[in-house]
Structure 1
Amino acid sequence: MVQSKVQGKGARPRVRDAGELGWDESLYEAKSDGARDGEGGPPAEPRGQGPADGSGGSGSGAGRPRRRRRVLRWSATVLSVVILGTAGAGYLYYQHLNANLRKDDLNIGDAKDRAAASKPNAAGQTPLNILLLGSDARDTKENQQLGGAKDTFGTAPRADVQILLHVSADRTNMSVVSMPRDTLLAIPKCTDSKGHVYPASAQWITNDSLGRGGPGCSVATWEKLTGIHIDHFIMVDFSGVVSMADAIGGVPVCVDKNIYSHTSSGHGSGLKLRAGTTYVKGTQALQWLRTRYGFEDGSDIARTKAQHQYMSAMVRELRANATLSNPDKLRKLAETATQALTVDKGLGTVAKLYDLSTELKKVPTDRITMTTMPYVYAGERVVPKPGDADQLFRLVREDIALDGKDTGKKPTAKATATAAPTDSDDKIAVQVQNGTSTSTLAPVGGRASTVAQLLAGMGFTEARADASTVLSEDKTVIRYPSADLKGDAERVAKVLGIPASSVVKSTDVSGVTLVVGADWRSGTAYKAPKADDKTPESANILNGATKQCMTVDPHYTW
């Protein structure tokens, strides 16, 4: 691979502690004013070089077999998987690409903590959930150079880009959910391949999950937060972003005025572009994805929007760019992409990546919806926004399109068989908690006791109120910790008239736990609220077919 030349290797003064905010913004001395240069992609291989299997092939296009053309069309799908899985289909050809792929475990949290597998719909189709990770690892000379660090070689990597890609069961739409890197949340216990145990943390910055044993811990963290079963992960590091941007020949991005991400104190990515659209590649593409100082309010949220713009543009470029018909460029793209990827073992061969790409390419660009996890500030960091974040995750779990364009004609999910209770009603222990507090309303006093007494009157004599705990839950929910208590939880729900969708597995409880939510602040008869399947406004949705320009902070223009 042709390495991109990077000037201005600024040093981070020290290793950033987990408790500190922000990405290392070491200065890049950009040598371009933003115009698309003439470097193009990596050099083409000599004409007349035969296929890897020795099947021949001459410098004449007329003499190349049709099979090779099909294979070269497939090459584009490898890169597509990394950023949103689009592009064409074809046939497995270069067996040696398998050896390029790095593999790691999918989930290294406790098996009992795994989210339930996605349910197939009535047609037997199953959704796909893929976690895309951008690693800031300084584990090679090139990654250290690109990261602008001199004293962090070999330190634990961080997942500075985390994006959940959900492909609907019927492959008609795709949901993309980004999580700000400075989100504080619970990270579960993780055990790496050497048996080293990383203890659970009740509240920690999310990008540190990658350094606790690998990408499998990031997967476990997402599953714990969202309840969404993740099928695969795909991870790319600094050098991977650079090499792939080079291979494809550039990605069009847009700013509303000239930008130079640089401060007098040495902060900034070094991105320097003229107003309007620029094709970024190589180091400049990495600068775009890392820029915080200069976009909008300088927050990590603004950086996430810039990453969305980059991915949307990459999707459109892959589908419309005529240069992808160039056989040598496509061959180089396939080589570069597989060298850049780390995947779970379930995606550890080119054939499996090809199978995945054939599913991803079915989704039209205008049905790709990009969002950011709803959040609220907690000091200088953020936490998932109560209610809105849960709503977004529920829509993804239930395979409901975030763009609101579902016609209602989709096959209905098959009803899940209920589990049998472990004992009679009077032997089922139920803890009742008060979750009636909201951002605008104080909790209803004694609500847990009222509902516990109601249950006791219905025969659940082991129901007990937990007066020491006051929570905030938009909807009433019944949680259970393990499969053997599922039937008990469902029995309580049935008696109270609570829908089965509100019975969820959770390792945050030690037994069947009923949380009386804000939708049941009074009365003894529960009435399920009308289903609201709208994407929260705080998710800031962006359609994958929409072209937009990033707003530049006037302090960073030139």
Structure 2
Amino acid sequence: MVDHRRNSGRWLRIAVFTLAGLLVLGGAAAGYAYWKLNRNIKGVDINAQLGTARPPAATDGSFNVLVLGSDSRSGSNGNLAGGNADGTARSDTAMVVHVNQDHTAASVVSIPRDTLVPRPECLTAGGKTVPAARSVMYNSAFETGGPACAVKTTEQLTGMRMDHFVEIDFSGFANFIDAIGGVDVTTTVSIKDKDSGLDLPAGDHHLGGTQALAFVRTRHGVGDGSDLGRIELQKQMVKSIMKQIGGIGLTSDPTRLWSVADGLTRSLTTDSDLASVNALVGMAGTLKKIGPNELTMVTLPVGTAPSDPNRVVPQQPQADRLWTALRADQSVPHSIVTTQPANPADASPSAKAGRGPE
């Protein structure tokens, strides 16, 4: 089951190397590109907000990155792909990326947003202290205290220090898809979701940015309607992005290269240590040995929450085994790799529909 997921490692490297490519265009163009792209990236000083009460940083060269997709409705995000437009922002997609000590392999763990977890005490953007909570949805941490609270909650859940943080918003994802010329997807079932706005008959489709965003946001009208199915659609989208990028020759098309890099950096919020072109290019260099065969992508093992059938909780002992392995800089346990959820786009046409995005 790992084969089609491993492509996301190469996609991440290509996205970052896109920025690097702009720096070799020459002369004033390169200077302007560097200045403009640096100004695009928003930085958050996570270390200053969290202080020292955190898991220790690894000393063996391994590191962890928390990657979030935000459902913020601010600015150009508007009402893209359905969901709440109440002025709040949640971490609609969350992935913990662990890069091993030799920087030759990585493991990516998707955390379902509906997972009930303990949330530590956090500070709001206005400096107000929010008390700890025993059991709340994982994605509410971002809503409560922004990136710092999301990082703190993730560190408490995993026992691992999040060395870096990267967030991309809805409009940024949609603009990125448009900049690369859209993506191809195949579904063996029809998907019609009034909440995300997706309406696809079974078959092959070429999606623009808005439709691609709806595809990775949809959960109503396909499979069992759970967030687990949506995560699998997101992994399918990564594969489609990989194929599209590989076929358009970004490095030989400066105009498209600029469009992709400008749109990508305008949609990024990172920790302050990553908030520059130089830092992102440096990370690309760190990841250069990690190709499709060196990346494993899984979803955190979860089960239905006893308190609420619409929520999930980490499944034990599998979840602890996963985090223990990564803390020890080991591979994802084989038992977890081989028991991943099915992709609802490949499901039987009679598969049940569930609730839509919130």
TM-score (norm 1): 0.55
Aligned to 2:14: 86
Aligned to 1:511: none
Between the two proteins, what is the percent identity of the paired residues? 36
For the 8 Å contact 2:81–2:213, the answer to whether it is kept is no
For the 8 Å contact 2:68–2:94, the answer to whether it is kept is yes
After superposition, where does 1:168-247 map in structure 2 within 5 Å? 168-192=100-124, 194-247=126-179
Deviation at 1:279, TM superposition (A): 3.0
Which one scores higher on RCO, CA 8 angstroms, separation ≥ 6? 2
After superposition, where does 1:115-126 map in structure 2 within 5 Å? 115-120=55-60, 126=61
Residue 271 to residue 350, structure 1, CA distance change in 2 (3 Å): same
For the 8 Å contact 2:185–2:205, the answer to whether it is kept is yes
Deviation at 1:173, TM superposition (A): 1.7
CA distance in 2, matches of 1:82, 1:220: 28
For the 8 Å contact 2:228–2:341, the answer to whether it is kept is no
Aligned to 1:297: 224
Amino acid in the other structure paired with 1:175:
S
Secondary structure of the structure 1 residue equivalent to 2:97: strand
Q: 255, 258, 279: which one pairs with 1:352?
A: 279
Per-residue CA distance 1:93-134 (angstroms, 9 max, x = gap): 3122111111113257753431121231xxxxx123111111
Asked if 1:139 is matched to 2:74, the reply is yes
Aligned to 2:198: 271
For the 8 Å contact 1:185–1:206, the answer to whether it is kept is yes
Secondary structure of the structure 2 residue equivalent to 1:312: helix
CA distance in 2, matches of 1:552, 1:270: 22
For the 8 Å contact 2:42–2:275, the answer to whether it is kept is yes
For the 8 Å contact 1:131–1:233, the answer to whether it is kept is yes
Aligned to 2:259: 332
Amino acid in the other structure paired with 1:114:
R
After superposition, where does 1:348-427 map in structure 2 within 5 Å? 348-378=275-305, 379-380=308-309, 381-402=311-332
Per-residue CA distance 1:261-310 (angstroms, 9 max, x = gap): 24xxxxx3221224333332211011011110133211111001111111
CA distance in 1, matches of 2:229, 2:83: 24
Secondary structure of the structure 2 residue equivalent to 1:137: coil
Amino acid in the other structure paired with 2:13:
G
Per-residue CA distance 1:349-380 (angstroms, 9 max, x = gap): 11111111222232111222110001111122
Deviation at 1:333, TM superposition (A): 0.8
Secondary structure of the structure 1 residue equivalent to 2:293: helix
Amino acid in the other structure paired with 1:299:
S
CA distance in 1, matches of 2:146, 2:237: 26
CA distance in 2, matches of 1:315, 1:384: 30
CA distance in 1, matches of 2:9, 2:272: 15
- Name the one with the larger strand percent: 2
CA distance in 2, matches of 1:536, 1:216: 29
CA distance in 2, matches of 1:243, 1:348: 20
Amino acid in the other structure paired with 2:43:
K
For the 8 Å contact 2:77–2:170, the answer to whether it is kept is yes
Deviation at 1:166, TM superposition (A): 1.6
Residue 138 to residue 82, structure 1, CA distance change in 2 (3 Å): farther
For the 8 Å contact 1:107–1:220, the answer to whether it is kept is no
Aligned to 1:342: 269
CA distance in 1, matches of 2:133, 2:338: 27
Amino acid in the other structure paired with 1:399:
D
Q: CA RMSD in A?
A: 2.8
Aligned to 2:4: none
Deviation at 1:336, TM superposition (A): 0.7
Aligned to 2:350: 554
CA distance in 2, matches of 1:372, 1:173: 17
TM-score (norm 2): 0.83
Moved over 6 A (4+): 80-83
Amino acid in the other structure paired with 2:350:
P
Amino acid in the other structure paired with 2:279:
K
Unmatched 5+ residue regions in structure 2?
A: 1-7, 24-29, 354-358
Secondary structure of the structure 1 residue equivalent to 2:229: helix
For the 8 Å contact 1:132–1:163, the answer to whether it is kept is yes
For the 8 Å contact 1:294–1:553, the answer to whether it is kept is no
Secondary structure of the structure 2 residue equivalent to 1:133: strand
Deviation at 1:536, TM superposition (A): 2.4
Aligned to 1:512: none
Amino acid in the other structure paired with 2:72:
A
Deviation at 1:238, TM superposition (A): 1.4
Asked if 1:321 is matched to 2:242, the reply is no
CA distance in 1, matches of 2:92, 2:185: 20
Amino acid in the other structure paired with 1:290:
R
Residue 83 to residue 135, structure 1, CA distance change in 2 (3 Å): farther
For the 8 Å contact 1:107–1:219, the answer to whether it is kept is no
CA distance in 2, matches of 1:397, 1:147: 36
After superposition, where does 1:422-501 map in structure 2 within 5 Å? none
Deviation at 1:178, TM superposition (A): 0.5
